[in-house]
């Protein structure tokens, strides 16, 4: 086990609290392995009727994965980073297929790896503190941990918009779009957890009773624009649509995309298109592992993390530098199958 998690049984539920507050509970390999071990044990334990996942303290549920480790690995042979992806995706898949109800409390920052352990849950609780995003295009990564499955199944073109821009949604917006199943005030979470632990057969009713009045979901006012401007699966066509429009909204989103990795934006659009047609979540994770396997050691990821997280100059030099320079052949290599012994497999 690891100090980065608090794992215990509370009443009739298994309870996992992420416990790395200094890095907003970002996931590392030991955390993924320990969560997997606990979930496998509880799956066979009749005294555990449900699972709760939350965080111990601080302003976020989970800000993502261990980006510093991934970059350091990518600068070498990529082996450590690939192992992390492999085990993290096995955890994501285990949660997706889990036979007992899982409740994820998305209180605070919920990004990247935090999305991967909350979206598979049957019950996903947002609060006024929730800040949900898949910001990977800004660091040359891609919306992994099942992003190709979840984002591609949102209404209209919202998933493509979130994947490309890295836009943040608040708790009300998460509930409005279906990324969250319930909206509670943060101050009622302790009561919710206590009652669920005592009576896990009543999760739906407990969360329903404690649900709070929700503020207006601002994103709803932009659904028509998102569907119109982000309609294409061809990245250049999205950029052209935004550039051809004189509205402030289109200009802002075009400027946002101008800061992102062109390679990653093209990867994300293809990933979501393929993800929408996937018949199983395991197929999605296999596809994402192939992408991660290749991208981890490529220039844009190493440069994106350098610019935004290491040196913090916010001036990444993408290569290829323009969408036009990112060819279909280039993207094909990123999606290429791996040798049979290296392909991802579920537990």
What letter would DSSP give residue 46?
T
DSSP class of 337 = P
- Which residues are CB-contacts of 69 (< 8 A; sequence separation ≥ 6)? 28, 80, 81, 84
- With b meaning 16 or more CB within 10 Å and e meaning fewer, what string describes 235-251? beebbebbeebeeeebe
Cα–Cα distance, 31 to 287 (Å, whole number): 23
pLDDT in tens, 110-166: 999 999 999 999 999 999 999 999 999 999 999 999 999 999 999 999 999 999 999
pLDDT at residue 344, as a whole number: 98
Instruction: Please state, in angstroms and rounded to a whole number, the distance separating the CA atoms of residues 108 and 32.
Output: 20
User: Do β-strands 5-10 and 169-170 pair in parallel, antiparallel, or remain unpaired?
Assistant: unpaired
User: What single string gives the DSSP state of each residue in 219-232?
Assistant: GGGGHHHHHHHT--
Q: 1 pLDDT exceeds 70? A: no
pLDDT digits (tens, 9 = 90+) for 164-182: 999 999 999 999 999 999 9
Rg over alpha carbons for the chain, rounded to the nearest Å, is 20
Q: Where does the pLDDT of residue 217 fall: very low under 50, low under 70, confident under 90, or very high at 90 and above?
A: very high
**pLDDT tens figures, 270-292:** 999 999 999 999 999 999 999 99
Average pLDDT over residues 51-63: 95
Among 129, 126, 134, residue whose Cα is nearest residue 176: 126
Domain ranges within the chain, ordered by starting residue = 1-347
Task: Give percent of the chain with pLDDT exceeding 70.
Answer: 100
Cβ-in-10-Å burial (0-12, 13-18, 19+) of 297 comes to middle
Using CA atoms, how far apart are residues 183 and 180, in angstroms rounded to an integer?
7
Strands of the chain, DSSP E: 5-10, 13-18, 50-55, 60-62, 102-106, 109-111, 123-126, 131-133, 169-170, 182-183
Percent of the chain with pLDDT over 90: 99
- What is 124-143 written as a DSSP string? EEE-TT-EEE--GGGGT--S
More confident residue, 224 or 59: 224
What positions carry a catalytic annotation?
65, 113, 136, 144
Average pLDDT over residues 78-103: 98
- Give residue 334's pLDDT: 98
**Band (2; pLDDT cuts 50, 70, 90):** confident
Task: Measure Cα distances from 197 to 10, 190, 240 in Å.
Answer: 6, 11, 52
> Quick one: pLDDT at residue 59?
87
- The architecture in CATH of the region 1-347 reads Alpha-Beta Complex (3.90)
Q: Has residue 335 got a pLDDT over 70?
A: yes
CA triplet 144, 146, 150: central angle to 5 degrees?
120
CA distance 26 to 64: 5
Q: Are 52 and 16 in contact (CB under 8 A)?
A: yes
Cα 145–chain centre separation? 6
Give the span between the Cα atoms of 102 and 262, in whole angstroms: 36
């Amino acid at each position: 086990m690891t100090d980065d998690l608090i794992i215990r049984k509370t009443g009739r539920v298994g309870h996992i609290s992420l416990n790395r507050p200094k890095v907003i509970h970002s996931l590392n390999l030991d955390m993924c392995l320990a969560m997997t071990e606990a979930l496998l044990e509880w799956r066979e334990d009749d005294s555990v009727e449900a699972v709760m996942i939350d965080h111990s303290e601080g302003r976020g549920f989970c800000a993502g994965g261990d980006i510093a480790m991934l970059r350091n690995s990518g600068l070498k042979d990529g082996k450590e980073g690939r192992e992390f992806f492999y085990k993290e995706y096995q955890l994501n898949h285990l949660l997706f297929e889990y036979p007992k109800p899982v409740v994820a409390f998305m209180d605070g920052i919920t990004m990247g790896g935090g999305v991967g352990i909350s979206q598979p849950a049957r019950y996903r609780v947002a609060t006024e503190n929730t800040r949900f995003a898949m910001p990977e295009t800004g660091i040359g990564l891609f919306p992994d941990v099942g992003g190709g499955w979840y984002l591609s199944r949102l209404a209209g073109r919202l998933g493509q918009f979130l994947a490309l821009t890295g836009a943040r949604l608040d708790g009300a917006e998460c509930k409005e779009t279906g990324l969250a199943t319930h909206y509670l005030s943060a101050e009622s979470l302790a009561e919710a957890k206590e009652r669920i632990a005592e009576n896990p057969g009543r999760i739906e009713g407990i969360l329903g009773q404690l649900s709070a009045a929700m503020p207006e979901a601002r994103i709803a006012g932009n659904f028509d624009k998102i569907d119109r401007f982000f309609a294409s699966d061809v990245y250049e066509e999205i950029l052209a649509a935004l550039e051809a429009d004189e509205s402030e909204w289109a200009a802002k989103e075009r400027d946002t995309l101008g800061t992102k990795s062109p390679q990653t934006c093209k990867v994300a659009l293809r990933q979501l298109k393929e993800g929408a047609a996937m018949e199983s979540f395991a197929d999605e994770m296999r596809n994402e592992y192939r992408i991660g396997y290749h991208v981890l050691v490529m220039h844009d990821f190493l440069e994106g993390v350098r610019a935004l997280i290491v040196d913090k100059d916010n001036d990444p030099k993408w290569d290829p530098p323009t969408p036009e320079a990112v060819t279909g052949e280039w993207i094909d290599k990123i999606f290429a199958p791996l040798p049979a012994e290296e392909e991802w497999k579920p537990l």
